[in-house]
């Protein structure tokens, strides 16, 4: 059996269309290739990219094997969007990770770009996605706590990767040692 894709106009096998339970025939109106292209285009908009990141945080608890513990998200999409808008009024399109709002020129710029090349993956999703270092990343200030509005920070992916293995307690120890050696001028 065949179906015509409403985006490209080609008649294709039903195997070339993603499934959609909400449709009468159980098949999406766009073929997999066009569906992936439209999804990538949407995710390259600010709101589409933010929705993708929010969904990753909120729709499923993180798997123990991958992140070491389950983390829950305790805010809605609208609260998340509000937090991002507040971030933009303070930092613009720059990372919050830096020397402070009085030195914004030293904060690195953030991009919002999903790099998908529209290949059809095993489950019809876009393959070829990769992490761009300057892309927006939602990080937890304290990695031992869940995702709450008080505990999230909007930074770059490369900054998040750099600090991922450092715990909050490790940071406090490092600051204490730094203060002892350089601020209070105590020798070893």
Mean pLDDT of 86-94: 95
CA angle 92–98–99, rounded 5-degree value: 110
- Least confident interval from 65-69, 85-89, 131-135, 164-168: 65-69
Task: Report the C-alpha gap between 156 and 138 in whole angstroms.
Answer: 8
Neighbours of 77 (CB within 10 A): 12
Q: Higher pLDDT residue, 43 or 144?
A: 43
Mean pLDDT of the chain: 83
pLDDT reading at 96 higher than 80: yes
User: Which helix H or strand E contains 156, and what residues bound it?
Assistant: strand 152-156
Mean pLDDT of 61-67: 49
What pLDDT does 35 receive? Answer: 92
Per residue in 138-188, pLDDT (tens digit) is 988 887 788 999 999 999 999 888 877 777 788 888 788 878 777 776 555
What pLDDT does 122 receive? Answer: 45
Q: pTM, whole model, 2 decimals?
A: 0.74
Q: Are 133 and 71 in contact (CB under 8 A)?
A: no
Mean pLDDT of 28-49: 92
Task: Report the C-alpha gap between 99 and 101 in whole angstroms.
Answer: 7
What pLDDT does 127 receive? Answer: 46
What pLDDT does 48 receive? Answer: 93
Q: Per-residue DSSP letters for 26-81?
A: SB-SS-HHHHHHHHHHHHTSHHHHHHHHHHHHHSSPPPHHHHSS---B-S-HHHHH
The rounded percent of the chain whose pLDDT value lies above 90 is: 48
Per residue in 104-130, pLDDT (tens digit) is 999 999 999 876 555 544 444 444 445
Spell out the domain ranges in the chain: 1-30, 32-163
What pLDDT does 164 receive? Answer: 73
Distance of CA 188 to the CA centre of its chain: 42
What pLDDT does 13 receive? Answer: 94
What pLDDT does 145 receive? Answer: 85
């Amino acid at each position: 059996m065949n179906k015509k894709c409403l985006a490209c106009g080609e008649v294709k096998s039903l195997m070339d269309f993603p499934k959609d339970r909400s449709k009468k025939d159980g098949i999406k109106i766009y073929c997999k290739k066009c569906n992936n292209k439209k999804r990538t285009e949407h995710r390259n908009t600010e709101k589409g990219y933010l929705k993708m990141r929010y969904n990753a945080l909120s729709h499923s608890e993180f798997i123990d094997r991958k992140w070491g513990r389950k983390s829950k998200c305790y805010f809605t999409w609208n609260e998340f969007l509000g937090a991002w808008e507040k971030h933009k009024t303070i930092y613009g399109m720059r990372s919050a990770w830096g020397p402070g709002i009085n030195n914004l020129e030293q904060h690195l710029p953030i991009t919002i770009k999903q790099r998908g090349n529209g290949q059809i993956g095993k489950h019809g999703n876009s393959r070829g996605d990769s992490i761009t270092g300057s892309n927006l990343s939602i990080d937890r200030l304290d990695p031992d706590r869940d995702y709450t509005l008080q505990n999230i920070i909007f930074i770059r992916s490369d900054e998040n990767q750099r600090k991922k293995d450092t715990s909050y307690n490790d940071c406090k120890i490092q600051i204490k040692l730094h203060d002892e050696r350089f601020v209070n001028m105590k020798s070893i």
